[in-house]
Amino acid sequence: MPATPSAVAARFTGSPAAGERRLSRSLTEVTLADGRVVMVKYADDPGAARAEAAGLRWLAAADAVRVPTVHGADDNWLVTGRVADGRATAEGAERFGRELAALHAAGAPAFGAPPPDGPTEAYIGLAPMRNVPGENWPDWFAEQRVLPYVRRAVDAGTLRADEAATIERVCALLPGLAGPAEPPARLHGDLWNGNVLWDGDGTAWLIDPAAHGGHRESDLAMLDLFGAPHLDRILAGYQRAAPLADGWRERVPLHQLFPLLVHTVLFGRGYAEQTLAAARSQLT
Active site residues: 190
CA 85 to CA 196: how far, in whole Å? 12
CA proximity to 141, closest of 61, 217, 85 = 217
CA angle 211, 213, 217 (to 5 degrees): 95
Residue type, 267: F
Q: What are phi and psi of 193, to 5 degrees?
A: -55, -35
CB 271, CB 263: distance < 8 Å: yes
The contacts of residue 5 (CB under 8 Å, 6+ apart) are 17, 20, 22, 28, 30, 40, 42
Amino acid identity, position 74: D
